[in-house]
């Protein structure tokens, strides 16, 4: 077994599939960790549609959720196996895998956040110890259960000489404020890709607006943008987190209120909404930041990144790739790091980000193969 190798597995609110990495945390890796292997597996269309449907109440959802959890577990285990192969390792070389699960309900105000997963099945199929259910302990301690990546962002991207903000743009966007000195904070800013992808799928089909080309062909409608940005969530003080429970098709349709805009103009406006609300969060809560690092799938949306850069002038904007970490790997690496923290009985949350009463060890452990 390699002394300090962990897998990290993430499937986020974009519902685009599973990212898995193998991270080496040993001193030989240099820095916090090195990525030894990585893989992305898209969701089969039927599973994608079922996960989307499970975001809201429906018929027989307990059984449907259990079946979806089993299907997810199969893909998670496959992703772990393929990432291990990509790293040139064996399952026995990996100490554990941090597997976040697929969020379908996020209601910390009611004391729960649900991530579909069957971690025991992942451990059984992969032969690797699995750490899962990361959010529950933070919620039990009065926190939001999200975002959980700020503590990892601090470890990976913190710079004593630079006030830096990390922006993760998945289905939901979040920021981590990393001052050169002072407390680290993080919170969800609102929709990332979720509404952009939803509108694109409704009018053009396909998973996403590739590189923001459709949005680029439209014009931002100032009145619609103002109406969208007036939702109370955006002005609420952190700590705060959100999901598709709020920012969904019903929310968007209510905001459109029968508006007769060209679909491409709505797409441009939704893209501007993501850029504007992220930038507003930076301006309000990290006004002295000079360096903004973007990660997540939204980093591939050139139109969105250009809008965000324009909003944040004169701050420098670049992707995590410029710091040596692929934009698609940051969150998966975070859950490898969180699994490592769990096995060491070290806190994984950042109370200033989640609002929990204090630091907590996160995750439930499902042991891998037993060696006689």
The CATH code for residues 5-145+329-366 is: 3.30.420.40
Q: Which residues contact 172 (CB under 8 A, 6 or more apart)?
A: 12, 13, 188, 190, 191, 192, 194, 242, 243, 244, 247
* Mean pLDDT along residues 234-246: 95
Calculate the alpha carbon distances from 242 to 74, 202, 331 in Å.
27, 23, 17
According to CATH, the topology of domain 150-323 is Nucleotidyltransferase; domain 5 (3.30.420)
Q: What are phi and psi of 328, to 5 degrees?
A: -85, -10
Q: What is the residue extent of each domain of the chain?
A: 5-145+329-366, 150-323
Q: What is the pTM of this model?
A: 0.94
Closest CA to 148 of 351, 318, 317, 369: 351
Q: What is the separation of C-alpha 304 from the centre of its chain, rounded to a whole number of angstroms?
A: 17
From residue 117, alpha-carbon distances to 37, 120, 176 in Å are 23, 9, 27
- Decide if pLDDT at 3 tops 80: no
Whether the pLDDT of residue 117 is over 70: the answer is yes
Residue 347's pLDDT band, with cuts at 50, 70 and 90, is very high
Q: How many CB atoms lie within 10 A of CB 305?
A: 21
Q: How far apart are CA 176 and CA 151, in angstroms?
A: 9
- Rounded CA-CA distance 331/160 in Å is 23
- Which helix (H) or strand (E) covers residue 318, if one does? strand 316-319
Q: b vs e for 244-259, b when ≥16 Cβ sit within 10 Å of the residue's Cβ?
A: bbbbbbebbeebbeee
The pLDDT tens digits for 20-53 are: 999 999 988 878 999 999 999 999 999 999 999 9
Question: What would the pLDDT profile of 271-315 be if each residue is shown by its tens digit?
Answer: 999 999 999 999 999 999 999 999 999 999 999 999 999 999 999
Asked whether this chain's domains 5-145+329-366 and 150-323 adopt the same fold, the reply is yes
- The percent of the chain in helix, strand and coil, each rounded to the nearest 5, is 45, 20, 35
Banded pLDDT at 158 (limits 50, 70, 90): very high
Q: How confident is the model at residue 1 (pLDDT cuts 50, 70, 90)?
A: very low
Transcribe 81-94 into DSSP letters: HHHHHHTT--GGG-
Long-range contacts of 54-58 (CB under 8 A, 24+ apart): 54/104, 54/116, 55/104, 55/105, 55/244, 55/245, 55/248, 56/248
Please state, as a whole number, how many other Cβ atoms lie within 10 Å of the Cβ of residue 161.
7
Averaged pLDDT for residues 105-109: 93
CA 31 to chain centroid, in Å, comes to 23
Residue carrying the six token digits 């196996």: 81
Distance CA 251, CA 246 (A): 7
**How many C-alpha atoms does 72 have within 13 Å on its Cβ side?**
31
pLDDT tens per residue, range 142-156: 999 999 999 999 999
pLDDT digits 0-9 by tens, 188-200: 999 999 999 999 9
Cβ atoms within 10 Å of 336's Cβ, excluding its own: 32
CB 240 within 8 A of CB 188: yes
Q: How far apart are alpha carbons 305 and 317 in whole angstroms?
A: 9
């Amino acid at each position: 077994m390699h002394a300090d190798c962990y897998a990290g597995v993430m499937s986020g609110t974009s519902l685009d599939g599973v990212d898995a990495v193998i991270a080496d945390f040993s001193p030989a890796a240099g820095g916090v960790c090195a990525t030894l292997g990585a893989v992305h597996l898209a969701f089969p269309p039927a599973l994608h549609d079922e996960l989307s449907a499970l975001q809201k109440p429906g018929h027989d959802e307990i059984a449907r959720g259990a079946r979806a959890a089993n299907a997810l577990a199969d893909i998670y285990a496959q992703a772990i196996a393929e990432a291990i192969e990509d790293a040139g390792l064996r399952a026995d070389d990996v100490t554990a895998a941090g597997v976040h699960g697929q969020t379908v309900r996020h209601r910390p105000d009611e004391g729960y956040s649900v991530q579909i997963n069957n971690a025991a099945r992942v451990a059984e199929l992969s032969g690797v110890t699995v750490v899962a259910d990361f959010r529950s302990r933070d919620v039990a301690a009065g926190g939001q259960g999200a975002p959980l990546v700020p503590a990892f962002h601090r470890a990976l991207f913190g710079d004593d000489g630079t006030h830096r903000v990390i922006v993760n743009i998945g289905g939901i966007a979040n920021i981590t404020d990393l001052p050169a000195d002072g407390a680290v904070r993080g919170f969800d800013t609102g929709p990332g890709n979720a509404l952009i992808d939803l509108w694109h799928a409704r009018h053009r089909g396909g998973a996403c607006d590739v590189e923001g080309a459709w949005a680029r062909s439209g014009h931002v409608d100032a009145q619609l943008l103002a109406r969208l940005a007036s939702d109370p969530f955006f002005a609420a003080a952190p700590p705060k987190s959100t999901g598709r429970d709020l920012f969904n098709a019903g929310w968007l349709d209510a905001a459109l209120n029968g508006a007769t805009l060209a679909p491409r103009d709505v797409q441009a406006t939704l893209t501007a909404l993501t850029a504007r609300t992220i930038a507003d969060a930076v301006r309000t809560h990290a006004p002295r930041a000079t360096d903004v690092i973007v990660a997540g799938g939204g980093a591939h949306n050139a139109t969105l990144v250009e809008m965000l850069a324009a909003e944040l002038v004169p701050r420098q904007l670049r992707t995590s790739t410029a710091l040596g970490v692929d934009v698609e790997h940051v969150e998966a690496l975070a859950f490898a790091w969180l699994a490592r923290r769990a096995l060491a009985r070290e806190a994984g949350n950042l109370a200033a980000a989640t609002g929990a009463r204090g630091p907590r060890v996160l995750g439930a452990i499902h042991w891998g193969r037993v060696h006689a």
